[in-house]
Structure 1
Amino acid sequence: MENTDYQILLYYCYAKIENPEEYREEHHLFCVENNIRGRIIISDEGLNGTASGLVEDCQKYMDFIHSDPRFAKTEFKIDSFDKHAFTKIHVRYKPEIVHSSLRHLDPNVKTGKHLEPKEFKALKDQEDVVILDVRSNYEHELGHFKNALRLDIDNFRDFPEKVKELEHLKNKKVLTYCTGGIKCEKASAFLLEQGFEDVYQLHGGIIKYGMEAGGEDFEGKCYVFDNRIAVEVNKVNPKVISTCHVCGTNSDRMVNCSNSTCNAHVPICEECGWKMEGACSEECKENPEKRPYDGTGYYQKNTNGYNPYKGLYRKSDKAEILK
């Protein structure tokens, strides 16, 4: 039987945080003391995170967030796993919970209409509908909805500039989607600001669509930001759409280039992975910064000397600095 002792949590919440640096320390310390690992962003505008832990520890973590009235509405996408999806915990303060260059927009004030997965599924194939992928190139090249419009962007912060190319679609219903829903909050709000009138977003993103609607018509795999790199979504009519970066054969096996100075996110088939030692090109294969390839194509940052308590203090004893 598959080991499901661990869970992976994907979530976000737009909510005003008056003292984000202070809350960052409180949040970080809770994670450390409850063996939660992952990448979490704390900002003046809210929370955004992917975290992993034992089932009981994840429940404590969700209870911790929900117990704060500011974050009571937080919705978690929960996936089972056989181990931690991260090697350490990072809780960082950043100006935005997703880098968008749209800090003036507050999704709690105005954003696209949320569609539950089954509603999205029922609407997506109608004649006057455009399905808009708001993710980056390396994400939608691995997997995307059938017939989706995909923008040529390397980072989400490039999205506002690309919207200029969509002027001819202002009379359409625009259905936005992303991995977990967070980018759509700002993307759909920006579309409304630019004069698009009929704007929607897939609530919970691709991940929730896979869990609740079987992932139908999502072609390929979904890129995720943890050790798994890519996950299956479609249980109804799956299809591999990506090709090996090296040989061109069909492959949805996503890797990071073993050359640390490149680190490109590309599909590479297993045969080419071993042949190229995890590198995306001959040049990268010969680079002295190439990391040892173990067949996964995922590389943890060096954890030597990592101390999760560094820079933290306990509120019960502020004089005690944890080195």
Structure 2
Amino acid sequence: MEKNYLILLYYCYAPIEDPEAFREEHHLYCLENELRGRIIVASEGLNGTVSGTREACEQYMKDVKSDPRFAHTDFKVEAHDRHAFAKLHVRVKPEIVHSGLGHLKPYEKTGTHLSPEEFKKLKDQQDVVVLDVRSNYEHNVGRFKNALTLNIENFRDFPDKVKELEQYKDKKVLTYCTGGIKCEKASAYLLEQGFKDVYQLHGGIIKYGIEAGGEDFEGKCYVFDNRLTVDVNSVNPTVISQCFVCGTKSDRMVNCANPVCNKHVAICEECGWELEGACSPECMAIPDKREYDGSGYYQKGMNGYNPAKGLKRRHDDITT
């Protein structure tokens, strides 16, 4: 199947003086170039994952990096056969990733960045601990071999878990996440809490898969688009997750069809069809559960969705 689309994952911590004005301009740019996805704008920077034609995405990367504030933005690029998103949302928020650590400025101080090859060479050394800073549903389906994981439902819970890491203060701590953004705040916070030797995998799991073959990453990587998970390891792949229903090995990530439950868990194909995408008979019995198509991903209804919604100037007023 020909892959004429790209999916871009990126972030950049850099001061934005007027986030609202920037959001307006950026939203319009994405509309005019038929880009879809989710982009967060904050006074501390940008965080986005978008899809579009190869030509539109390549121009987008060029234009973003032409702004001196975002010149060092590292784009993770994956080819795809279609749009990975149905909608476009460009929003202003207090932080580009919700952490409750808004006082930290990674562009001033954060953990030492490691390239995928540097991370690969360092991760198995005796005085090193590899720390996964992602949520449970993410590391349950895939993580680095021998990595330390934290029992957290959301990244904002990370600061409360740092006290459990006191025993590792004298070690080299290598943090990692999906694309690198959470590590910027996580490693900065570890430094603030007295950890001396803190590093982060630059570009995250996605870049490690692209540039280092994903060696020793076990399972799949959870992603925040309609693919749900992606393969990372082309060297020594394995499956580490189990079907939430029957316990057999499975790395098929599914969102429970019950929208109230909405658990993100691995469910094998057989159980998926048997329970119509639900994670339990109880969730299957819910009258308004979502229709299961075998993917485990449920696109929210368009509900009068207007891609120009939120613009202070109407798109058709600008283009006519």
Spell out the pairing of 1:24-63 with structure 2 (5 A cutoff): 24-63=23-62
Contact 2:15 2:43 (C-alpha < 8 Å) held by counterparts? yes
Contact 1:37 1:52 (C-alpha < 8 Å) held by counterparts? yes
Give the aligned length.
Answer: 319
Match of 1:143 in 2: 142
Matches of 2:229 and 2:184, distance apart in 1: 23
Comparing 119-128 and 57-66, the one that deviates more: 57-66
Matches of 1:67 and 1:58, distance apart in 2: 14
Structure 2 unaligned runs (5+)? none
Q: Give the ranges of 4+ consecutive aligned residues of structure 1 lying more than 3 Å apart after TM superposition.
A: 313-317
Matches of 2:23 and 2:225, distance apart in 1: 21
Code of the residue aligned with 1:46 in structure 2: it is G
Deviations 1:65-121 (A, max 9, x none): 112111111110000000000001010111000000111111111110000000000
Shift of 1:314: 4.2
Length-normalised TM-score, structure 2: 0.97
Matches of 1:132 and 1:115, distance apart in 2: 14
RMSD between aligned residues: 1.5
Shift of 1:22: 1.1
Match of 2:10 in 1: 11
Matches of 2:94 and 2:181, distance apart in 1: 15
Matches of 2:310 and 2:166, distance apart in 1: 48
Code of the residue aligned with 2:45 in structure 1: it is G
Contact 1:48 1:98 (C-alpha < 8 Å) held by counterparts? yes
Matches of 2:315 and 2:203, distance apart in 1: 37
Match of 1:172 in 2: 171
Contact 1:311 1:321 (C-alpha < 8 Å) held by counterparts? no
Matches of 2:203 and 2:93, distance apart in 1: 22
Matches of 2:185 and 2:126, distance apart in 1: 25
Contact 1:255 1:296 (C-alpha < 8 Å) held by counterparts? yes
Code of the residue aligned with 1:103 in structure 2: it is G
Match of 1:218 in 2: 217
Length-normalised TM-score, structure 1: 0.96
Change (3 A) 1:298 1:217: same
Match of 1:185 in 2: 184
Structure 1 unaligned runs (5+)? none
Contact 2:213 2:234 (C-alpha < 8 Å) held by counterparts? yes
Identical-pair percentage:
72
Matches of 2:66 and 2:114, distance apart in 1: 26
Matches of 2:66 and 2:76, distance apart in 1: 18
Shift of 1:64: 2.1
Matches of 2:76 and 2:107, distance apart in 1: 20
Contact 1:312 1:321 (C-alpha < 8 Å) held by counterparts? no
